[in-house]
Structure 1
Amino acid sequence: MAGSGISRVIRPGVKLLELHRPLFAGAAAVYGLFKVLQLSHWVSFPTYITSYLADLTCMPILLTLTLVVQRRLTQNLAFIFPSRWLVAAWLYVSVVFEGLVPQWSSRYVSDPLDVVAYALGTLAFRIWLNRPALPH
């Protein structure tokens, strides 16, 4: 693909274009603000927000940061995650955080709706964030 123009080498000074996408920035900002307000006890959130907001924003944030690293390692701004990698990431996070961690610690509880939230976040990443980050 080197001669096709699709593969682009990352040059020094190139901005992290992936982090400027509205869905990533919004997910990170919403999660950060939520955590600050939750930990400060300034706002009381409904149960469905405290139960599922972190799980919904987890995958777009995690996958975008992982995509940034992968693109820098391969020096290819056009790289996108294949769908099977996204399914594997969703399964991994679901099994670890909803299957294994609750068995190791009574502080955590397994919730099938968390798996759905991870799936929705992965789907949002797939549709809106898993695109080439080529500078204009």
Structure 2
Amino acid sequence: MKRLLDPLFLGYGLAWWLIHSFRWAGAPIPFLNSYLTDFVFVPLVAHVALRIIRVFVVQNETYRIPCSYLVFMALYTSVVFEGLMPAIAKTYTRDAGDVLAYFAGAFFYYGIHQPRWDSAYREP
């Protein structure tokens, strides 16, 4: 459990929860409401996926999610939430900033979180 709940992962979850709490209360925080939840979405999903892959699929604690997989996650998320959903539900809107946030989150996870997480939890 310690390996799943690192400080960055907890920060993503806390940020997502706070932004949505303010949104549900009718007091959205302007810039953060628009892009922070989109930025943390791919890292949240990727971190859980990495833990599942390491424990149940490859049984290798040194496995890292390749950049191409993270780019695919961001692309898939962009197509679904910025392409398909606005076409079928009026509550969704297309926003290029959201797409940039998904990709920024993917690259952040690849370049910063994943290496930091690996070094912090490396077995002696």
TM range (shorter): 0.7 to 0.9
CA distances 1:69-93 after superposition (whole Å, capped 9, x unpaired): 1111121111101111111111111
User: Normalized per residue, which structure has more helix?
Assistant: 2
**Residue number among 6, 22, 35 corresponding to 2:20 in the alignment:** 35
Deviation of 1:33 (Å): 2.1
Aligned positions, number: 119
Higher-Rg structure is: 1
One-letter code of the match for 2:123? P
Moved over 4 A (4+): none
Superposition TM-score, scaled by structure 2 size: 0.84
Superposition TM-score, scaled by structure 1 size: 0.77
Which structure exhibits the higher relative contact order, with contacts defined as CA atoms closer than 8 Å and separated by 6 or more residues? 1
Q: 1:115 to 1:76 in 2, by over 3 A?
A: same
CA RMSD of superposed structures (Å): 1.7
Unaligned 5+ runs, structure 1: 1-14
Unaligned 5+ runs, structure 2: none
Deviation of 1:111 (Å): 0.6
> Is 1:23 paired with 2:8?
yes
User: 2:112 corresponds to which residue?
Assistant: 128
| Alignment partners' CA distance in 1, 2:79 and 2:28 | 30
| Alignment partners' CA distance in 2, 1:115 and 1:55 | 8
User: 1:110 corresponds to which residue?
Assistant: 94
Deviation of 1:44 (Å): 4.4
Residues 1-136 of structure 1 aligned to structure 2 (within 5 Å): 15-20=1-6, 22-41=7-26, 43-46=27-30, 48-73=31-56, 74-131=58-115, 132=118, 133-136=121-124
